[in-house]
A and B are shown apart, each in its own frame.
Chain A
Amino acid sequence: MVRKGRAMTQRRQDSGPDALLPSREPVRFLTEAGTAVRARPAYPVPDLDLLRLAYGKMVVGRRFDEQATALTKQGRLAVYPSSHGQEACQVGAVLAVEDDDWLFPTYRESVALVTRGIDPVEVLSLLRGDSHCGYDPRRHHVAPQCTPLATQTLHATGLAYARRRQGTDRVTLAFTGDGATSEGDFHEALNFAAVFRAPVVFLVQNNGYAISVPLSRQTAAPSLAYKGIGYGVPAEQVDGNDPVAVLAVLSAAVRHARSGAGPFLVEAHTYRMQAHTNADDATRYRAEGEVELWRKRDPIARLEAYLRKRGALTDGDVAAVAAEAEQFATALRARMNTDPSLDPTDLFAHVYGEPTPQLREQRAGLETELAAEVR
């Protein structure tokens, strides 16, 4: 699996601050057409089995994303932030870590959570509105999807440090967007992670916009990956629509963290093909031409072309994956078409370990109201 080339771990051993800097250009293995680039980057190439797995997960993820968007139009979801176009990052991140490495996702990461194997109905319960977090974080090693921007990067750092203190070699992976890198918590997290050598990988999916605000209003840095060096955190930038590159770079970042060398920052240049959420109107702030440009860099098409050329993907494989994705969507649609049954008195559960007397009183009050409604 490991090709020749200067492995990143080697680069990191270079002394001096330059070793912390990202590559000048985003790391890229594939052209937009999905052929291998001429100058292969200095990272081990992910093996074909892993790439085939990633392909399948990306196709299922995109179909899930389309289904969730459709469910929103039908009024089944209150809101849905699509990850269409960002599948290489969403899937690559999950495949680069082990199942018991914790993930700290944002609202954008539904496809990553489906890739981790969480029941899609549980993933969508936040957006359907029946629960703030439908899945069991401990079972899946996935924190609740986080909306207050960048706050979760500190949790990821604290947990990474805790698990290292307990003598494990587990890492955590924190997702953020480009806009969130302007929040103070992002900087505090990088700094804490570096100072305490916490094994956390920060993955910034730079999709160019924070709702409507372009990257140029977030930063004047050469790229977001340059935010690492000020904290002593090594960083890399990668073509986030190149699944081979994303897996190669994230795997190296995870190895770095797992080896005890501390945190790592990865910036993935990508694009969200849909509006910020279904409630957003992207035509107000970006031109259709720009979207078209990115449509040509579609991560699924690129990986498919690459795998076909390598003889690792046949028409039959593609059809089988498509059928699997269709089945996944059909099952999800059916299950989402029933209303969840909710117990209103559940409002008072889990505010504290033990309810306070006041909460007991308020619960009794609601029960009386409910009984009156029935009558």
Chain B
Amino acid sequence: MAPTTMAQALNAALRDAMHDDDSVVVFGEDVGALGGVFRITDGLTHKFGDERCFDTPLAESGIVGFAVGMAIGGFRPVVEMQFDAFAYPAFEQIASHVAKLRNRTRGRLGLPMVIRIPYAGGIGGVEHHCDSSEAYYAHTPGLKVVTPSTVADAYSLLREAVEDPDPVVFLEPKKLYWTKSEVDLPARAEPFGRAVVRRPGRDVTLVAYGPSVPVALEAADAAAGEGWDVEVVDLRTIVPFDDATVADSVRRTGRCVVVQEAAGFAGVGAEVAARVQERCFHSLHAPVLRVSGFDVPYPPPMLEHHHLPGVDRILDTLDRLQRDDEPDTRFAGGAA
């Protein structure tokens, strides 16, 4: 079995989806001859023709709004936003129409469409190329928000996204595009709405998604040397959210740390922390903590490693989990 990259798995998912269903169309900026700036649509125009995979004018709102019309007309559009921050011109279309049309029309106009967005940092990108924009979408009822962390999931979740009757914001962690693993495609993994325990452990649950999952796994390995048996839960789909798997894990371990690249304030990690303490309060031996990016605009490439949650910061956070019933002094004074 040849190792496959996440980029190749995503490409294969699009190819197979287009093969299986003539109504699937792929469009966006540079997705045709070039195959996308990350080559996720590589070869699709060549294989399926310019009517199935095509370049559009350079206008993100236009791309998404046009897709809404095509979806009403019976197509299943899969559109590419070139980078996270360049999806913002489309936000009105996404929040006011993509998310709401089914509800506004009492189920009469559903929108089976996928908005693919390469997102998050860690690749040394200059500004506007590294935003973690998941919270904007996750906060918008009517959207499903999906982000794979493994090669197999990239394939499986993207196939499911294309087949889903609802609009899916599909967030591709760009720093994982080149990660390789040996998978047999087509692979089908757990469906939407199911988080997965990537590493079992007894002492603490690390909840992560997308680009943070490999970091959490690495931290878990390192923590083993310090006597922590760490469980890692990969959310996979932020919406729908799998409360059951997360709560079940935390009830067993009694401790929980959420890891995300995005700024912490009002982020997905805050939501996870709230849900965990609502459900697991009596099982918790320590406050639920978060490891996140700082509440700053995404930094220049030479500083991004200070911003991104890394293994050390996760290990430091584990140390604050009051294993010895010592109170956490960090929140003792000052701004808190």
Contact = CB atoms under 8 A, between A and B. Distances in A.
Contacts, number: 136
A154 interface: yes
Given A159-B73, A162-B69, A358-B240, A137 B105 contact: yes
A185 B109 CA distance: 21
Interface in A175-192: 184-185, 188-189, 191-192
B103 interface: yes
Interface stretch (A48-56, A207-215, A279-287, A346-354): A346-354
A163 interface: yes
B65 A155 contact: yes
Given A151-B96, A192-B56, A350 B103 contact: yes
Interface residues of A, number: 38
B66 A158 contact: yes
Interface in B165-193: 165-166, 193
A159 B102 contact: no
Contacts of A165: 51, 75
B32 interface: no
Interface in B146-178: 164-166
A163 B72 CA distance: 10
Contacts of A151: 65, 92-93, 96-97
Contact of B142 (A131, A195, A352): A352
Contact of A160 (B68, B69, B75): B69
Contacts of A143: 72, 109
A133 B69 contact: no
Contact of B69 (A132, A136, A148, A155): A155
A148 B93 CA distance: 9
A161 B70 contact: yes
B177 to A, nearest CB: 29
B68 A132 contact: no
Nearest to B106: A350
A132 B103 contact: yes
A192 B73 CA distance: 16
Contact of B239 (A155, A157, A184, A356): A356
B110 interface: yes
Contact of A162 (B75, B93, B102, B108): B75
Interface in A99-156: 131-133, 136-138, 143-144, 148, 151, 153-156
Contacts of A157: 65-66, 69
B209 interface: no
Nearest to B56: A192
Interface of A: 131-133, 136-138, 143-144, 148, 151, 153-163, 165-166, 184-185, 188-189, 191-192, 195, 349-353, 356-358
25 contacts: A132-B104, A133-B104, A137-B105, A144-B109, A148-B96, A151-B93, A154-B62, A154-B64, A154-B66, A154-B68, A155-B66, A157-B65, A157-B69, A158-B65, A158-B67, A158-B68, A159-B70, A165-B75, A184-B61, A189-B65, A350-B102, A350-B107, A351-B103, A357-B240, A357-B243
